[in-house]
Amino acid sequence: MKKIFITLVLFSFLIFNNAYSATGEATKYEVTMQKVELCEDSACATSYTIGDSSMVADIASADAGATVGSYASTSGIPAGKTYSHLRVTLSRTFTITGTVVFGGGTCATDGGTDHAATQLLDAGTGTAASTSMYLSNADTYGSDDGTGEDDGTGITLNYSSPTYASSMTVSGSTAVLIYELTSSYTKGLKAPLIDISFNTENALGAAEVTNCIMWVEEPYVAITIN
């Protein structure tokens, strides 16, 4: 029985409205997968659910592929169907450890608990600690305190036109992303291998004006099915 083997690479959601913004590496980047589907079209109007259980995986770890690979079996995918996209449902809550280095200093995840739907993380400057982070709402946030403000003068998060996903929807407690496969896949007699590679070198965003403000960066995902 073959399993899904997933690798991820990361990219930015952010529109940088201030000169003190940057991205940095996450040495821990835990995501909670809730559902993975193969889609016959870009809107996923017709899909096959590979798995719909909840599983936590640290995609920054050396054995992330093996961990995520145990998520679900691919043996039940219907033969003769052609799939062009993959849809994944994730929890908006992540557990992240990492730092972002600026010319004049460093912002680090600090173990704080203030990151929420309408609030970016008010982070620290010392040693990075494991921190619960949240995929905040699309909005403009104050670069001094990370609070949602909607006046266009700070840090803008915008999910309407992701760089690598075909589409992204953030609502409730989940984020739903649709990715185009590197090439369409038609199911034959053998169970396929789903390959998705990753790195977390730019998995954190930060801005430093009066305080260090940090946020979750969106994964760049390239998916191949063999």
The answer to the question of residue 2 being in a domain is no
pLDDT given at position 61: 79
Question: What CA–CA distance (Å, rounded) separates 71 from 33?
Answer: 9
pLDDT given at position 162: 84
Place of tokens 């889609």: 39
The answer to the question of residue 24 being in a domain is yes
- Rounded to an integer, the average pLDDT of 65-93 is 86
Among residues of the chain, what percentage have pLDDT more than 90?
Answer: 54
The answer to the question of residue 3 being in a domain is no
CB 205 within 8 A of CB 214: yes
Q: Which of the four pLDDT bands, split at 50, 70 and 90, describes residue 16?
A: very low
Domain with 180 in it: 9-225
Q: Which residues of 83-121 are buried (b: 16+ CB within 10 A; e: fewer)?
A: bbbbbbbbbbbbbbbbbbeeeeebbbbbeeeebbeebbb
The answer to the question of residue 55 being in a domain is yes
Q: What average pLDDT does the chain have?
A: 85
Give this prediction's pTM. Answer: 0.86
pLDDT given at position 98: 96
208 or 96: which leads in pLDDT: 96
Each residue's pLDDT tens digit, 84-98 = 999 999 999 999 999
Specify whether the backbone of 182 is left (phi greater than 0), alpha (psi in -120 to 50) or beta. alpha
DSSP string, 166-215: SEEEEETTEEEEEEEEEEEEE--SSPP-EEE----TT-EEEEESSSEEEE
Domain count, the chain: 1
What is the CB-side half-sphere exposure of residue 187 using CA atoms within 13 A?
15
Question: What CA–CA distance (Å, rounded) separates 108 from 125?
Answer: 5
pLDDT given at position 4: 44
Among residues of the chain, what percentage have pLDDT more than 70?
Answer: 85
The answer to the question of residue 147 being in a domain is yes
Each residue's pLDDT tens digit, 123-170 = 999 999 999 999 999 999 988 889 987 666 688 888 998 877 899 999
Give the SS3 label for residue 135: coil
The answer to the question of residue 74 being in a domain is yes
The answer to the question of residue 4 being in a domain is no
